Structure 1
Amino acid sequence: MLERLLAVLKARFGSAPSLAEEPNGVGVLADMADRRVMRRYLDRPVDPALVETLCAVALSAPSKSDLQQADIIIVRDKDQRDKLEALLPDNPWVKAAPVFLVFCANNRRHRLLYAWRGQPFVNDHLDPFFNASVDAGIVMGTFVAAADRVGLGTCPISAIRNRAEEVSGILELPDHVLPVAALGMGWPSFAGVMSPRLGLDVTVHHDRYDESGLREKIAAYDARREAVQPYKSQRLTEKFGQSDSYGWSEDKVRQYSVPERAGFGKFVRGKKFNLD
């Protein structure tokens, strides 16, 4: 089992830690390291009770100061799904997912505790928005891990924030509640593909942040990823032309050369969050 874990980590990152002793739960660690995003599903329903069980497991995750500022909306109503899917025309796999969920940051409940007691909410600044959003992200990550354990496949959908105002209206989200991301889920129709990640020497630091050799390390990652998972097409060739070498860094530069979600801050402020 240790050999499998190290092999999976090497395939993912290009190298693996020099772990000599097999830790408890090594099989689970190997499965987690080998996880794949899933956008193609079997035509097989997922038991609603299992979905709610996964929600309960996810909501058992750590929460900042026990404030519990994350909510999950399970979207089963066809009309509701149709409205949300219409907002995501560039994400055709959303329609294919048997289960569709939206993970929300909820700072409303916390504020209501003060209102019910006639007390002022003195921490009305950026931190409540940040705390609630991080809580929602932790819950979604835990949900994904739990879904993997029972054999379900998932695909996070951050694109709902492109149309956050419309999503909020469809889901009837009140002030201080906002959508962080959606998630498609179902029984996988194939094994999926592992996406290589940046090397551990880029993203794991010791004692202090270190960018030494970063450009060379990213170039090495580009080459490694292009060798095992080349992009099927190049983005925005009308603007950037056709590149002889097209790795991760070139793709990300092209992807985010187009303004996206410039109005999200306005939406968040409209939800009565103070971002100062």
Structure 2
Amino acid sequence: MSNSRTPFVDRFGPDAADIEIDSDAPAIFGQLAARGSVRKFRSDPVPYPTLRRLCALALSAPTKSDLQQRDIIIVDEPSLKSEITAPLTEGPLGQKWLADVPTLLVFCGNNRRQRRIHTLRAVPFANDHLDAFFNAAVDAGVALSAFVIAAEAEGLGVCPVSAVRNHADTLSRLLKLPDHVFPVAGLAVGYPAETPRISMRLPLSMTVHRNAFEEDGLDTAIEAYDRRREAAQPYAAQRYVREFGRAESYGWSEDKARQYAHPERADFGAYVKRIGFKLD
């Protein structure tokens, strides 16, 4: 998990050396500091009552203006789960591990209930613009984060799956999502078959700001992060070698530049409009 005096050094590098977790700190601090995503699970399923309890904990998280615009769909029926995950495992960049996920949750933004309330109360819906979509998406993201924390405290392993949005229309059909309800992310859930490693992150000096945003020294910090990460957690494969060649040094920034050199989910905006949202 971590060989440093504090796992923050492993994750963020030397500029986090001043951050410590006291011995009497809440256990959740250590859990969050050392957490990592799990992509290899034992075959035994997570009991439905456990999942339902974790959903209740997740939905106890904050929600914008008490609008409660998030839903969670538990996918534990094997054939349905296979239909959803099969296209996500295909191709050279397919996520093969998804084929063996015991349970998949889909976190959805739901602006439909709010619109129904306006019909029931005969009050105009005056916020039919980008914020309606944005608020529901953020609500779902907040609930997903809370589920992750609760599930890992339960001893489960999880890994968010943004790739469910690659096939938003198909997913909507399979899960019978109506207009104004949309997938934000999937979450693989199960009992871990291995201890996850700490994912290295950009230094806090680049991502935590005080009083105002600043990015002085960003390029230098990215280069240092690339070197640190390549030494400790090298990528198993390089993206799009045929197009970009094989880099002698392949760090985080090279990987992310190559990733976003190709369109991802370019049709998602059109999908969101088809299900009734205005993005003005």
Q: TM-score, normalised by structure 1?
A: 0.95
Match of 1:241 in 2: 245
Separation in structure 2 between the aligned mates of residue 140 and residue 190 of structure 1, nearest angstrom: 22
Secondary structure at 1:87's aligned position in 2? helix
2:254 is aligned with 1:255: no
Separation in structure 1 between the aligned mates of residue 100 and residue 149 of structure 2, nearest angstrom: 21
Match of 1:74 in 2: 74
Separation in structure 2 between the aligned mates of residue 139 and residue 4 of structure 1, nearest angstrom: 31
Q: C-alpha offsets along residues 118-156 of structure 1, whole Å, 9 cap, x if unaligned?
A: 221011111010000000001001101111101100111
2:50 is aligned with 1:50: yes
Residue of 79, 88, 98 corresponding to 2:102: 98
How many residue pairs align between the two structures? 274
Classify 1:180/1:21 alpha carbon distance in 2 versus 1 (closer, same or farther; 3 Å). Answer: closer
Q: C-alpha offsets along residues 162-184 of structure 1, whole Å, 9 cap, x if unaligned?
A: 11011011111111100001111
Separation in structure 1 between the aligned mates of residue 101 and residue 180 of structure 2, nearest angstrom: 29
* 1:20 shift after superposition: 6.8
Separation in structure 2 between the aligned mates of residue 224 and residue 130 of structure 1, nearest angstrom: 35
Provide the identity percentage. 47
Match of 1:213 in 2: 217
* 1:91 shift after superposition: 2.0
Separation in structure 2 between the aligned mates of residue 266 and residue 92 of structure 1, nearest angstrom: 28
Residue of 137, 141, 146 corresponding to 2:150: 146
Match of 1:231 in 2: 235
Amino acid in structure 2 at the alignment position of 1:78: P
* 1:5 shift after superposition: 9.0
Secondary structure at 1:198's aligned position in 2? coil
Amino acid in structure 2 at the alignment position of 1:10: V
Do 1:5 and 1:27's aligned partners in 2 also have CA atoms closer than 8 Å?
Answer: no
Secondary structure at 1:156's aligned position in 2? strand
Classify 1:51/1:21 alpha carbon distance in 2 versus 1 (closer, same or farther; 3 Å). Answer: closer
Separation in structure 2 between the aligned mates of residue 220 and residue 56 of structure 1, nearest angstrom: 42
Separation in structure 2 between the aligned mates of residue 166 and residue 4 of structure 1, nearest angstrom: 44
* 1:62 shift after superposition: 0.3
Separation in structure 2 between the aligned mates of residue 26 and residue 153 of structure 1, nearest angstrom: 20
Q: TM-score, normalised by structure 2?
A: 0.93
Separation in structure 1 between the aligned mates of residue 19 and residue 99 of structure 2, nearest angstrom: 42
Separation in structure 1 between the aligned mates of residue 67 and residue 223 of structure 2, nearest angstrom: 42
Amino acid in structure 2 at the alignment position of 1:204: V
2:199 is aligned with 1:195: yes
Q: C-alpha offsets along residues 94-123 of structure 1, whole Å, 9 cap, x if unaligned?
A: 221111110000000011000112221011
* 1:28 shift after superposition: 1.9
* 1:194 shift after superposition: 1.5
Do 2:141 and 2:184's aligned partners in 1 also have CA atoms closer than 8 Å?
Answer: yes
Separation in structure 2 between the aligned mates of residue 230 and residue 114 of structure 1, nearest angstrom: 52
- Report the more deviating stretch, 245-254 or 73-82: 73-82
Do 2:108 and 2:137's aligned partners in 1 also have CA atoms closer than 8 Å?
Answer: yes
Match of 2:83 in 1: 83
Match of 1:131 in 2: 135
Match of 2:111 in 1: 107
* 1:77 shift after superposition: 2.1
* 1:78 shift after superposition: 2.5
Amino acid in structure 1 at the alignment position of 2:161: I
Match of 2:27 in 1: 27
Do 1:70 and 1:105's aligned partners in 2 also have CA atoms closer than 8 Å?
Answer: yes
Classify 1:92/1:183 alpha carbon distance in 2 versus 1 (closer, same or farther; 3 Å). Answer: same
Unaligned runs of 5+ in 1: none
Secondary structure at 1:184's aligned position in 2? strand
RMSD: 1.7
Separation in structure 1 between the aligned mates of residue 163 and residue 263 of structure 2, nearest angstrom: 13
Q: C-alpha offsets along residues 207-240 of structure 1, whole Å, 9 cap, x if unaligned?
A: 1110100000000000110111011111111111
